[in-house]
Amino acid sequence: MDIRLRYGCNPHQAFARLMPESGASPLTVLNGGASAINILDALGAWPLARELAQATGLPGAASFKHVSPAGAAVAKPITDAFRASQWIPDEELSPVALAYARARGGDRMASFGDVAAVSETVDVSLAKLLRREVSDGIIAPGYEPEALELLKAKKKGNYLVLQINPNYDPPEMERRDVFGLTLEQTRNAATIGPSLLTNVVSAKNDLPSDAVQTLMVATIALKYAQSNSVALAYDGQVIGMGAGQQSRVHCTRLACDKADKWFLQQHPRVGDLKFKDGLGRPEKTNAIDQFLLWDQLSHAERQGVADWLTEEPKPLTANERADWIGRFDDVVLSSDAFIPFRDSIDRASRSGVQWILQAGGSMRDNEVTAAADQYGMVMIHSGMRWFTH
């Protein structure tokens, strides 16, 4: 059965629909109406969340925005510092809610207005968490009745709720119309697991189980990100996604900058910022984002931040920033293709990266590996490329 959409990628593309290739659709709209972008995000987010769960045995979640993951994570405990930095209520969260809280909290700026995806049934704990967030929709294999009612009340009853058959796998061949022509290719069904990590090329070769799990999370997220892409992850959670860049080092810089911000959001100085009464979480998020870029702001921009606070902020110095980021040294980096120059390794060294997974096969592999050895990193060649276009 076709699903009629509100519109295509833009409102002026008035006619849009979703059609199964054959048979019944695996997708059901339980509430709200979808645009083409909502569907594209949902159908990128769902297999990512499912694959995270399959690879790790833990509930997986993704926060998807503009056909790339803003965040991805598996269910693991959260620290008090992370909870406070994301304004997560001091209440017990279910495993599926933990997975989404960590996925969304990997980059809360990019997750604003996301499509959420989880590998498990949505329970009341997750529905309550989602009800507070600016989100456009969710896709999941099922919903508890009370959770569904909570979500149906979101966005004045217009929140998009999609249910997917968890046993559905798309056909081997996929097709895409481009400028009146049809492109056909075999679907990227290659699985990501520990077998990708056997070819360690660096002098250092320790690979603890936590690093293996986190490398899986980062690499699975890359599989569903628009290439070029580089992901930094920490403790089973993507904390920096640099996607859709034409240059590998720009992917790395973007991912590392986001990871640095993620760490700095948990700095006590950020937690001590005094916001004016009535300020919403989006405004607080913007204020913190700019506070962490203080030395790059104009006078007018600094004044804008100050207008949201009751006290004059005390910016972090470069040394304070570096000292805080340096406390986190269990960071992994995964690249969706080979790393062609050592510049990405040099940048990654300043963001606590200890393990790197890349395809290998560059004419400068020896130089890149030597850079990893210089910083005491573990470098692994997977022999696999994960481009998505």
pLDDT of residue 379: 98
- More reliable by pLDDT, 19 or 363: 363
- Tokens standing for residue 259: 């990871």
Query: pLDDT at position 388, please?
Result: 94
Contact residues for 307 (Cβ-Cβ < 8 A; gap 6+): none
φ and ψ at residue 348, rounded to 5 degrees: -65, -30
Task: Kindly report the pTM of this predicted structure.
Answer: 0.96
- Architecture of the domain spanning 3-164: 3-Layer(aba) Sandwich (3.40)
Per DSSP, the residues of 265-315 read: TTSHHHHT--BPTT--HHHHHHHHHHHTTGGG--HHHHHHHHTTBSS---P
The tokens of 184 are what? 């056909």
Which position among 128, 154, 223, 228 bears the catalytic label?
228
Geometric angle at alpha carbon 353, from 319 and 242, rounded to 5°: 95
Least confident of 87-91, 133-137, 237-241: 87-91
pLDDT digits (tens, 9 = 90+) for 366-385: 999 999 999 999 999 999 99
Domain ranges in the chain are 3-164, 188-263+324-381, 268-315
Catalytic entry in 12, 156, 299, 389: 389
**How far is residue 307's CA from residue 212's CA, in Å, rounded to a whole number?**
45
What is the per-residue burial (b if ≥16 Cβ within 10 Å, else e) of 54-83? Answer: ebbebbbbbbbbbbbbbbbbbbbebeeebb
> Mean pLDDT across the stretch 149-178?
95
Average pLDDT of the chain is: 95
DSSP string, 146-159: HHHHHHHTGGGGT-
Name residues whose C-beta falls within 8 Å of residue 6's C-beta, 6 or more positions apart in sequence.
Answer: 16, 33, 34, 35
Q: 33 by DSSP, 3-state: which? A: coil
pLDDT at 151: 98
Over the stretch 210-247, which tens digit does the pLDDT of each residue have?
Answer: 999 999 999 999 999 999 999 999 999 999 999 999 99
Q: Annotated catalytic, 12?
A: no
Q: Is the pLDDT of residue 20 over 90?
A: no
291 confidence band (pLDDT: 50, 70, 90) = very high
Q: Residues 6 or more apart from 27 whose CB is under 8 A from it? A: 3, 18, 42, 43, 162, 163, 164, 165
Residue 329 pLDDT > 90: no
Q: Give tens-digit pLDDT for 110-131.
A: 999 999 999 999 999 999 999 9
The structural architecture, per CATH, of the domain 188-263+324-381 is: 3-Layer(aba) Sandwich (3.40)
Thinking of the domain 268-315, which architecture would CATH place it in? Orthogonal Bundle (1.10)
Chain centroid offset of residue 65 CA = 9
Q: Residues with Cβ < 8 Å from 167, sequence gap 6 or more?
A: none
pLDDT-based confidence at residue 59 (cuts at 50, 70, 90): very high
Q: Give the closest residue to 309 by CA, choosing from 343, 279, 331, 349.
A: 279
The one catalytic residue in 31, 38, 65, 261 is 65
65 among known catalytic residues: yes
- CB–CB of 74/210 below 8 Å? no
- Average pLDDT over every residue of 151-172: 96
The residue-averaged pLDDT of 87-95 equals 94
User: Is the Cβ–Cβ distance between 263 and 287 less than 8 Å?
Assistant: no
Cα–Cα distance for residue pair 135/282, rounded to 1 Å: 12
Check 66, 155, 204, 250 and give the catalytic one.
Answer: 66
pLDDT tens profile 263-276: 999 999 999 999 99
- Element of type H or E holding 255: helix 248-264
Q: Sorting pLDDT into bands at 50, 70 and 90, what band is 258?
A: very high
Express each pLDDT in 343-371 by its tens digit. Answer: 999 999 999 999 999 999 999 999 999 99
The identity of residue 72, as a single letter, is A
Is 188-263+324-381's fold the same as 268-315's? no
Assign residue 103 a region: left if phi > 0, alpha if psi is -120 to 50, beta otherwise? Answer: alpha
Q: Name the band, by pLDDT with cuts 50, 70 and 90, for residue 21.
A: confident
Minimal CA–CA distance to 237: which of 126, 165, 328, 344? 328
Q: What is the dihedral of CA 187, 189, 195, 196, to 10 degrees?
A: 40
Which of 60, 213, 78, 66 minimizes the C-alpha distance to 139? 60
The owner of tokens 């276009």 is 389
Mean pLDDT of 62-67: 96
To the query of whether residue 389 is one of the catalytic residues in this protein, the response is yes
Q: What is the pLDDT, as a whole number, of residue 19?
A: 87
**Segment 29-40 mean pLDDT:** 95
Q: What is the pLDDT of residues 22-31, one digit of tens each?
A: 778 899 999 9
Q: What is the pLDDT of residue 117?
A: 98
